[in-house]
Homo-oligomer: A and B are copies of this chain.
């Protein structure tokens, strides 16, 4: 099949149906589908190649879906019919790491874990650590404004993006932002592009702010007999202003699954209702975690364990790292990503319990307690339409509960195609109109990832 992109040559373009099909969707469940799917995959080697792709797409009005690792969970990289997938798989260079200015310049296809390792070699630290850090790309992280476990102390991807090189809808190459620590020249186009999920431009280079490497983190784990006690501990820790670099939570369903997978013995004396995992990477970490231990005990913790060393800390953290793999073993899964005010996490967890009971589904919850960002994970049978329907109802009920609690429909995964119909339930008509106006201004032909973010 011939496409307008064939002029770019077979090195950059493939229309092989099997290969194209393998690029058609990201990791999103619940039937976010590309229908007949894309017609071609282009894999540019340079910014000029990207500009050429966009110029052709613009001329022929072909939808363009940018794709990093394809590990997204909201369908932003699920390519619609007739589109071209623009893969960043060859744009994988770390162009610069500057220890004096504490910045790095990278191409979008660099795996985030590799980036973290590259800057660590010169004593620097790139904090954002989404769960997918070992395989997702920095370009995908920028597109979704990804978070992770670090956010409670360090913030999200966007907090570290100083500037971008971006190819606009018509193929124009431009730069936004700066290399300086501060700067307010004109509108913050960088922040507008971060989190825009490939709908406003294609990012081809990212200038990232880095931090000095922190002290090695110390780890503390506390278990609770009830959700309310865990919630009280989180509230007390937050109110005390403890300098934690991680504050994660797992519920009983997740702990049972992790126990089954790892045999860690988390439920030796009966699985606790919830477990908190905290880290502190400050100079006074022992004192901070001692205060946290006391606050957890005051809140009714069953068991509080501080790691003696980094290795033991890593072992404790492994339980959290295995949360999703453990739940995955129970069946097909769909991962929600909602964020509520910190003080209402317990109410969200209670709502999830009610939904699980009502729909007779297993729903494990884990997430970033320090931010209120939770990942209820709905286990179901994708081959059974009734189970899929129940999972869909549960997903909707949980997302609605988050909104009712003053929260947001997405804390860090993005809107994509999965939640585009939800956006107007969170934003008011004015903000929706602003969003559409911005989209229309920057992509008047609507070729950049149409159907993502805005319905």
Binding site for B on A (CB under 8 A): 99-102, 123, 144-145, 147, 151-152, 156, 158-159, 168, 172-176, 178-189, 191-192, 194-196, 200, 211-213, 235, 238-241, 282-284, 339-343, 368, 370-373, 406-415, 419, 422-423, 426-431, 433-435, 437-442, 453-454
Contact = CB atoms under 8 A, between A and B. Distances in A.
A412 B407 CA distance: 32
A374 to B, nearest CB: 11
A154 to B, nearest CB: 12
A194 B159 CA distance: 14
Contact of A430 (B173, B187, B200, B422): B173
A230 B192 CA distance: 37
B182 A99 contact: no
Nearest 10 A-B pairs (CB), nearest first?
Answer: A212-B241, A174-B430, A191-B191, A441-B441, A183-B408, A437-B441, A181-B371, A182-B411, A180-B339, A172-B430
20 contacts: A152-B181, A172-B433, A174-B434, A175-B428, A179-B406, A180-B372, A180-B408, A181-B371, A183-B339, A184-B411, A185-B410, A185-B422, A185-B427, A186-B453, A187-B435, A187-B439, A189-B435, A191-B191, A213-B241, A438-B441
A159 to B, nearest CB: 7
Contacts of A406: 179-180
A425 B26 CA distance: 41
Contact of A284 (B186, B188, B196, B283): B283
A159 B156 contact: no
Given A174-B434, A195-B187, A434-B189, A179 B426 contact: no
Nearest to A152: B181
The residue in A151, A186, A406, A419 that gathers the most chain B C-beta atoms within 10 A of its C-beta is A186
A207 B185 CA distance: 24
Best-surrounded residue of A284, A430, A435 (most CB of chain B within 10 A): A430
A343 B100 CA distance: 7
Grouping DSSP codes into helix (H, G, I), strand (E, B) and loop, the A interface class, with mixed when no group exceeds half, is loop
A171 to B, nearest CB: 10
Contacts of A187: 192, 195-196, 200, 435, 438-439, 453
A408 B372 CA distance: 37
A372 B180 CA distance: 7
Contacts of A101: 341-343
A344 B439 CA distance: 38
Contacts of A410: 183-185
Given A102-B238, A191-B191, A441-B438, A409 B185 contact: yes
A3 B37 CA distance: 58
A168 B192 CA distance: 18
A136 B173 CA distance: 38
Nearest to A175: B428
Contacts of A414: 184
A182 B373 contact: yes
Nearest to A168: B430
Contacts of A284: 283-284
Nearest to A427: B186
A183 B435 contact: no
Given A238-B102, A438-B187, A174 B428 contact: yes
A212 B242 CA distance: 8
A181 B373 CA distance: 8
Contacts of A429: 172, 174
A100 B189 contact: no
Contacts of A102: 238
Contact of A182 (B168, B184, B412): B412
A431 B342 CA distance: 38
A43 B205 CA distance: 45
Contacts of A158: 188, 191
Contacts of A145: 184, 188
B180 A340 contact: yes
Nearest to A147: B182
A437 B428 contact: no
Given A100-B238, A101-B343, A437-B442, A178 B408 contact: yes
Given A182-B339, A440-B441, 14 more contacts: A100-B235, A101-B341, A147-B182, A151-B182, A168-B430, A174-B428, A178-B408, A182-B408, A186-B423, A186-B435, A187-B439, A189-B435, A284-B284, A437-B442
